[in-house]
Structure 1
Amino acid sequence: MTQRRRPRDRFAERIQGPQGRPRLLRPKRVTIIGAGIAGLAAAAILAEHGAEVTVIEKTDYLGGRVGAWPVDDERTMSRGFHAFFRQYYNLRDLLSRADPEGECLRPVDDYPLIHRRGSMDTFASIPRTPPFNLLGFVWQSPTFPIRGLRDVDIAAAVELIDVEFPATYSYYDGESAADFLDRLRFPDEARHLALEVFARSFFADPTEFSAGELVAMFHTYFTGSAEGLLFDVPVDDYDTALWAPLGGYLESLGVTIETGTTVTSIDPTESGWTTTTGEANLESDAVVLAVDPAAARDLLSASHDSLVDSAPAAQRWMETIGSQTNAPAFAVLRLWLGTPVADHRPAFLGTSGYDLLDNVSVLERFEAGARAWSESHHGSVLELHAYALEGDSYDTERGRADIVARLLSDLHHVYPETAALTIVDQELLIEADCGLTDTRPWEDRPEPSTPIPGLVVAGDYVRCNTPVALMERAATTGYLAANHLLSTWRVEGTDLWSPPTRGLLRRGVLGLIRRRR
């Protein structure tokens, strides 16, 4: 199945899926472990081509780190705010299966980024097309005065437009985002607001985050894509708007979805695979492992001996998986306030330079459920996000209380009126299940295919050759994992789209001039 909508960017690249028969001639059974974006993406492609798919998820909800679930008083909680950028071609393709018209997403007019010292950047009025978007940003940005260009290292700055993926990822092996920013010598506040925000959106400290990933994101959003810098958000909580409809679509294809179920081991057999869940054994021809690095490491460790015996190269691959790490923990604090915040507050605000706060969302501005609660209680629903928490003090009750207090202190500085508002209720979530894209060599990260027949992996920590990340990398690697299995069965896969894989210098000046702003 090919994508239903062509990207706006004329330089976006279509990646042809494997060729073969339209559907399986004989049934193949596939077990998918994990019902996040990667697992659901793989399930959709495999089921559409005739596979008998079972998805097993340890939580009680779909969507993984983009999940949501109900709490009391008709309220919902989530894993935190996510921006659905226009460059997320494959994720949007996945969502279109249950929502062909794209009605589950709505645009955010702007997302200001504010520094604690008071400077603010916005993206609403700058052009979409590079390099005009970058020039427009520099022209209007109070954090990037023209005089600041004098201090920028030109050679390092040229690297941002002289890219070609996937080679660019390997070029920065061993270099952190912080090291690259030091070389670049951007003005301090511009560094925080325009660049370091990318590292923290990966739930990582810039000193641990890959410079190659940072450059890829700068290319995708600033210098390489004509999709613009604004994004969309779901019109309701993630489950209502996204995953319940997609789950219904998958079930209409015959997919079995088991939530609240923990997989304890996966073992190759002479005829395929056995997946063990508590007392039950599920037989299948293939397995898609679509969980975070720590969960994958634990599960594969429990199955180590049988996996290593299944293929000569399996030991080295197991070592690669075993070396993958998770990012530091992140916190999501959702507040139900007895009085609305000021009318002029944006739906989403990115922050920099604060103690813990990385962003704040006013959920009734875009989520139907939050809006209903806000109207019935004459209040507001806010969500505060803190990335890359330090240490592990949050494991204690006192530590969690400290996280809440520090986030509220930051909120009162950003939105002063909230200091006097009554908190009707609150929910705090702290998790540490995000993959860390650190400075290790690019080739030392796992790719969707593995040396073990019938086993593939997917997720936002899995390597792919295109400049994508986060939710889009999860969807892309889910597609790639499914395509790999289908190709081994001589069945066609699905095409993918990618933002341009080459920077402006590598496309040529004439091609740049011909493009419309």
Structure 2
Amino acid sequence: MAVLGGGLAGVAASCTLAERGAQVTLLESAPTLGGRLAAWPVDVAGERFEMDRGFHAFFRHYYNLRALLRRVDPALDGLLPLTDYPILTPAGPLSFANLPVNALLTLWPLMRQVGLGISDLARVRIRNALAMLTWHPQRTPARWDGVSAQQWLRELNFPPAARMRLLDVFAHSFFNPTGELSAADLLMLFHYYFFGNREGLVFDVARRPFGEWLWRPFEGHLAALRVDVRLTCPAQTISRQGAGWRVHSAAGEIDADAVVLALDVPGLRRLLDASPEPGAALAGLLGQVQATRPFAVWRLWLDRPVQRAAFAGTAGYDILDNVSVYSAFHEPSRDWAQRHGGAVLELHAYGLGTDDEADIRRRLLAALHALYPETAPAQVLGEQFLLRADCPAFAPGSATTRPSVGTAEPSLVLAGDFLRLPFPGALMERATASGVLAANALLASRQVDPAPLWIGPQRGLLSAISRFA
């Protein structure tokens, strides 16, 4: 079998297949595994570091991701628990520390923090508010997929300051601008992270660079499973070969009886555009699946310490969506900061309406100085700036038409975080689970028992009334 793409989805599919006896060839276009979680060497401030695509939150209900990572880190020692991640806005902060794990019990302390009173709640639109608690896999998309998240948030009628702290930061965290994000997807995310999350709202972060912690060990793990891992080897086209498939790459041709397409949206579209047979078969299936607007990651090595939270979400500071103090948790950054008396910070901006790098830098730096004034006089000793546009769009109208793992060809399956899954999930967890689902689909056709999947509540706390809400 061939797996095209070495990100989380492709690695999960490869492990699942190989552990159950399949012969697997894994093709990845980059020099390393990891996909959008990959890392690569850079020279900054006179030293060698591993750079990546920025801060990732490893939530504790990412059960399938954690099961995958335990293949190379059984105790998950590479993760560091955070006790809080504040939300910072001009209207005031919000803390997730010491909240009850029970979802409903978190509502009251959160509402008290943002000053929501009885008179405010009386003005909230009940239908929109109930939609957060009544997630249903069929009824919610049918009712809300045609509405943008921006419109849903506006119609909810929360007081502006409370909305900014409680809802806007969360809504902006998934790379899509709210005006171009389906309200059905936003409601699924509220269910998945808040009301259907049994592990609480805090998360873990990576202590070490992803290459050192994950991807070089995964190369060894896959080799031990006899997976033929081919790096710097993009698939160029795929075509029918008898009952199976032929994958054409720069390193030659690979014949496989089944293929997992575990590519990001731009990569998948490029492959299918160059591959007439599967391209035609999947054109209708992919429909309007596209990448969303660009996002920026800017890591800064500063000449002075910054004593702030390891991670903070933001709203109301222009395009700035969050700030990470890498030197508070990331071992190479911490060591550099201790030696030089400095700090390593990272700024993120999602769903950008521009790709003007100079403008993005200027606005991010101004926002940082407004948020953390002590950084204004700091000198930048080194930097890494990334601008990418390869995260999936979840546009209004797409929740019910987005493809799932299966295709009309039983031997050709999809994996990736853009897919519609049979249970709630997002980001790294959705990618990982899709890879396991893709592998299971191929195993089922060969009468091989599937790999287990761990999922949380599939319906909202009040889903029984969703037909009336």
Q: What is residue 364 of structure 1 aligned with on the other side?
A: 327
**Which residue of the other structure, out of 181, 202, 205, is the alignment partner of 2:153?**
181
- Distance in 1 (alpha carbons) for counterparts of 2:139 and 2:265: 24
Q: What is residue 90 of structure 1 aligned with on the other side?
A: 64
Query: 1:169: Cα distance to partner?
Result: 3.1
Quote the sequence identity (%).
43
Q: Is the Cα–Cα contact under 8 Å of residues 182 and 398 in structure 2 kept in the other structure?
A: no
**Which residue of the other structure, out of 431, 438, 442, is the alignment partner of 1:485?**
442
2:405 maps to 1:463: no
Aligned residue for 1:361, secondary structure, equals strand
Q: Is the Cα–Cα contact under 8 Å of residues 91 and 161 in structure 2 kept in the other structure?
A: no
Structure 1 runs not aligned, ≥5 long: 1-29, 309-313, 509-517
Q: What is residue 7 of structure 1 aligned with on the other side?
A: none
**Which residue of the other structure, out of 151, 167, 170, is the alignment partner of 1:195?**
167
Change (3 A) 1:88 1:170: farther
1:364-513 paired onto structure 2 within 5 Å: 364-391=327-354, 394=355, 399-506=356-463
Change (3 A) 1:471 1:279: closer
Query: 1:417: Cα distance to partner?
Result: 1.0
**Which residue of the other structure, out of 249, 264, 284, is the alignment partner of 1:292?**
264
Q: What is residue 337 of structure 1 aligned with on the other side?
A: 302
Q: What is residue 88 of structure 2 aligned with on the other side?
A: 114
Query: 1:506: Cα distance to partner?
Result: 3.9
1:30-109 paired onto structure 2 within 5 Å: 30-72=1-43, 73-109=47-83
Query: 1:414: Cα distance to partner?
Result: 0.9
Query: 1:328: Cα distance to partner?
Result: 0.3
2:218 maps to 1:246: yes
Aligned residue for 1:480, secondary structure, equals helix
Q: What is residue 20 of structure 1 aligned with on the other side?
A: none
Counterpart residue type for residue 134 of structure 1: L
Q: What is residue 110 of structure 2 aligned with on the other side?
A: 137
Q: Is the Cα–Cα contact under 8 Å of residues 87 and 169 in structure 2 kept in the other structure?
A: no
Q: Is the Cα–Cα contact under 8 Å of residues 74 and 373 in structure 1 kept in the other structure?
A: no
Aligned residue for 1:420, secondary structure, equals coil
- Distance in 2 (alpha carbons) for counterparts of 1:452 and 1:146: 55
Q: What is residue 197 of structure 2 aligned with on the other side?
A: 225
Q: What is residue 514 of structure 1 aligned with on the other side?
A: none
Question: What do you get for the CA RMSD once the two structures are aligned?
Answer: 1.7
- Distance in 1 (alpha carbons) for counterparts of 2:139 and 2:404: 15
Aligned length: 462
Counterpart residue type for residue 113 of structure 2: Q
Q: What is residue 327 of structure 1 aligned with on the other side?
A: 292
Query: 1:335: Cα distance to partner?
Result: 0.5
Q: Deviations over 1:82-141 (max 9, x none)?
A: 1111111111111111112121211111110111x2411010022110210122211233
Q: What is residue 207 of structure 2 aligned with on the other side?
A: 235
Query: 1:223: Cα distance to partner?
Result: 2.0
Aligned residue for 1:478, secondary structure, equals helix
Aligned residue for 1:475, secondary structure, equals helix
Query: 1:243: Cα distance to partner?
Result: 2.4
Moved more, 494-503 or 254-263: 254-263
Q: What is residue 4 of structure 1 aligned with on the other side?
A: none
Q: Is the Cα–Cα contact under 8 Å of residues 172 and 350 in structure 2 kept in the other structure?
A: yes
Q: Is the Cα–Cα contact under 8 Å of residues 166 and 467 in structure 1 kept in the other structure?
A: no
Structure 2 runs not aligned, ≥5 long: none
Aligned residue for 1:136, secondary structure, equals helix
- Distance in 2 (alpha carbons) for counterparts of 1:94 and 1:447: 21
- Distance in 2 (alpha carbons) for counterparts of 1:84 and 1:507: 31
Change (3 A) 1:376 1:454: same
Query: 1:145: Cα distance to partner?
Result: 4.4
Query: 1:217: Cα distance to partner?
Result: 1.4
Q: What is residue 256 of structure 1 aligned with on the other side?
A: 228
- Distance in 2 (alpha carbons) for counterparts of 1:241 and 1:134: 36
Q: Is the Cα–Cα contact under 8 Å of residues 290 and 457 in structure 1 kept in the other structure?
A: yes
Q: Deviations over 1:356-405 (max 9, x none)?
A: 211110111111111122122221111111101113xx3xxxx3222212
Counterpart residue type for residue 495 of structure 1: P
Counterpart residue type for residue 348 of structure 1: F
- Distance in 2 (alpha carbons) for counterparts of 1:148 and 1:259: 56
Query: 1:183: Cα distance to partner?
Result: 2.2
Query: 1:57: Cα distance to partner?
Result: 1.4
Q: Deviations over 1:41-83 (max 9, x none)?
A: 1111011001111221112222222222221112221111111
Counterpart residue type for residue 66 of structure 1: L
- Distance in 1 (alpha carbons) for counterparts of 2:8 and 2:261: 12
- Distance in 1 (alpha carbons) for counterparts of 2:128 and 2:457: 21
Query: 1:167: Cα distance to partner?
Result: 4.2
Change (3 A) 1:174 1:166: same
Aligned residue for 2:376, secondary structure, equals helix
**Which residue of the other structure, out of 117, 124, 139, is the alignment partner of 2:97?**
124
- Distance in 2 (alpha carbons) for counterparts of 1:204 and 1:104: 29
Change (3 A) 1:356 1:105: same
Aligned residue for 1:261, secondary structure, equals coil
Q: Is the Cα–Cα contact under 8 Å of residues 161 and 224 in structure 1 kept in the other structure?
A: no
Aligned residue for 1:74, secondary structure, equals strand
